[in-house]
Amino acid sequence: MGDARIEVRNGGPLRIEGNFRIVDSTGKEFGLGGRPAVSLCRCGQSQNKPFCDGSHGKVGFKSDVQARDLPPPAPKP
C-alpha cells in the first residue's frame, strides 16, 4: 500500500487511505482491524469519535472545501 491520501469530502468526513497509523494523545495506536481506509469525523457529532458514523447527514453538516496553497509558516523567534 502506498503513501497516505487524505480526501476532504464536502459535507462529510476526512477519508484516509494508504499507509497510515492513527494514535491518541498519549501515542497509543488505534487498532484498525486491518482496514486499508477509514473516515474521520469533521462534524463533531459522531458517537464513534474520531471515526465517522454518518451523523453529518443527520445534523445537516455543511462544509465545501477546495484545495488551496497555505502561506509559509511564520518564522520562529
In the chain, what are the domains? 1-60 (3.40.5)
Global pTM value:
0.89
Helices (H) and strands (E) in the chain, counts: 1, 3
What value does the mean pLDDT of the chain take? 96
Q: How far apart are CA 29 and CA 71, in angstroms?
A: 31
pLDDT in tens, 33-68: 999 999 999 999 999 999 999 999 999 999 999 999
Give the per-residue pLDDT at 75: 96
73 pLDDT more than 70: yes
Question: Strand, helix or coil at 56?
Answer: helix
Residue 1 pLDDT: 62
Confidence of residue 2 (pLDDT cuts 50, 70, 90): confident
Q: Which of 65, 63, 38, 36 is nearest to 53 (CA)?
A: 38
Q: How far is CA 51 from CA 36, 64, 75, in A?
A: 14, 20, 34
